[in-house]
């Protein structure tokens, strides 16, 4: 067992988190993550209404007795969803942990904290993490450039971003972006994180509510199988490389406005692809960690494997290096 400040403060067994993922963070996956001793998050906006979210929270509780949370991502939009109503639904449902992400979360963080809810805020820069800490969040998930979804505009990889955040934050941090095995967990702990936040790796599990063709694509793909889109619109997103992402990049290179590609990247179109198995129907998010994904295990198998591998590395190979170093210094081969 690997225990950290994060596991103690959030009441979980393992320092592994399944963050919010649009269309993927639903009860079957979240309950499986919770039962495996990790922390899973329902994705609030996957549910069409706040009332539907409450039903999904109840469904998850019927499937697991262990802690889980809800993700609420706030994005600027001409027609935003009723964020305040989703927030109220989360509070009224008695959820104890929330993951926030996105634009100007202060109002939401303050309301959650006023009701005794622990808040983890997802950030892509140290300056944003410090701002979240000043808001009173209980932990920060720091997303390196490797992550799926929105990596920000600074292009700083986790190897630098994670320790930079750890040096300046007093709240626990989660390392996010590029994590999928025990080696990554050990690296994250060494860099100053209290755990890892995984998205893409949890998509390639048996419980993930997406078509098997996407899971097989993650296994077949390598670390080059993603593409950055929306760069010219200052809203960079890392997605799996497919026919749609290629069209988007070509349109951006030609200087075309977002309105010209909006029909290609609609969220509902991506959801249809995830359900039908058509890899080229819409865009779908994936991180470069797919280069380290070689199978589709159950969630329980994946979590146990990560912990076992990390423990073996800490107790075996790394500890052995310290001993050998002492022998070398003493002149013993």
pLDDT bin (cut points 50, 70, 90) of residue 324 is: low
Helical (H) or strand (E) element with 139: strand 139-143
What pLDDT is attached to residue 325? 52
Distance CA(73)–CA(299), nearest Å, equals 24
The predicted-structure confidence for 202-246, as pLDDT tens digits, reads as follows: 999 999 999 999 999 999 999 999 999 999 999 999 999 999 999
What pLDDT is attached to residue 227? 98
Which of residues 268 and 54 earns the better pLDDT score? 54
Mean pLDDT of 245-262: 96
**CB neighbours of residue 248 within 10 Å:** 26
* Cα distances (Å, whole numbers) of residue 85 to 44, 46, 196: 11, 14, 30
pLDDT bin (cut points 50, 70, 90) of residue 255 is: very high
For the cut 80, the answer to whether the pLDDT of residue 87 exceeds it is yes
59-63, 190-194, 269-273: the lowest-pLDDT one:
269-273
The answer to whether 246 touches 227, Cβ cutoff 8 Å, is yes
Pick the CATH number of 5-203+298-320 from 3.20.20.70, 3.30.420.40, 3.40.50.2000, 3.40.50.1580: 3.20.20.70
As a whole number, the mean pLDDT across the chain is 95
**Domain spans of the chain, in order of start:** 5-203+298-320, 212-288
For the cut 50, the answer to whether the pLDDT of residue 153 exceeds it is yes
pLDDT bin (cut points 50, 70, 90) of residue 330 is: very low
What pLDDT is attached to residue 75? 86
Residues 6+ apart with CB under 8 A from 94: none
What pLDDT is attached to residue 276? 96
The predicted-structure confidence for 233-245, as pLDDT tens digits, reads as follows: 999 999 999 999 9
What pLDDT is attached to residue 328? 47
Query: What secondary structure does DSSP assign to 192-224, as a single string?
Result: T-S-EEESHHHHTSTTSSS-HHHHHHHHH--TT
The predicted-structure confidence for 22-45, as pLDDT tens digits, reads as follows: 999 999 999 999 999 999 999 999
């Amino acid at each position: 067992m690997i225990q950290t400040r994060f596991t103690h403060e959030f009441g979980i067994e393992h320092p592994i988190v399944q963050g919010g993922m649009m269309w993927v963070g639903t009860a079957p996956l979240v309950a499986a993550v919770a039962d495996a001793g990790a922390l899973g998050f329902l994705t609030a906006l996957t549910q069409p209404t706040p009332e539907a979210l409450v039903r999904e929270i109840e469904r998850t509780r019927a499937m697991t007795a262990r802690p889980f949370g809800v993700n609420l991502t706030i994005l600027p939009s001409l027609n935003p969803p009723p964020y305040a109503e989703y927030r109220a639904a989360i509070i009224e449902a008695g959820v104890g942990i929330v993951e926030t992400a996105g634009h100007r979360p202060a109002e939401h963080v303050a309301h959650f904290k006023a009701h005794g809810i622990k808040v983890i805020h997802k950030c892509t820069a140290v300056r944003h993490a410090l701002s979240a800490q000043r808001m009173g969040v209980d932990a920060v998930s720091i997303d390196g450039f490797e992550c799926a979804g929105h990596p920000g505009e600074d292009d700083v990889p986790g190897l630098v971003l994670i320790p930079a955040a750890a040096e300046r934050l007093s709240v626990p941090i989660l390392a996010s972006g590029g994590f999928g095995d025990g080696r990554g967990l050990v690296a994250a702990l060494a860099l100053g994180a209290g755990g890892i936040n995984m998205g893409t790796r949890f998509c390639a599990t048996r419980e993930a509510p997406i078509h098997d063709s996407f899971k097989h694509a993650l296994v077949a793909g390598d670390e080059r199988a993603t593409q950055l889109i929306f760069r010219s619109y200052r809203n960079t997103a890392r997605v799996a490389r497919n026919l749609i992402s290629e069209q988007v990049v070509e349109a951006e290179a030609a200087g075309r406005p977002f309105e010209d590609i909006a029909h290609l990247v609609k969220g509902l179109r991506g959801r249809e692809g995830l359900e039908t198995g058509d890899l080229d129907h819409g865009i779908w998010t994936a991180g470069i960690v797919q280069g380290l994904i070689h199978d589709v295990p159950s969630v329980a198998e994946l979590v146990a494997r990560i912990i076992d591998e990390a423990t073996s590395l800490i107790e075996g190979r790394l500890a052995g290096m310290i001993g050998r170093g002492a022998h070398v210094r003493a002149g013993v081969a």
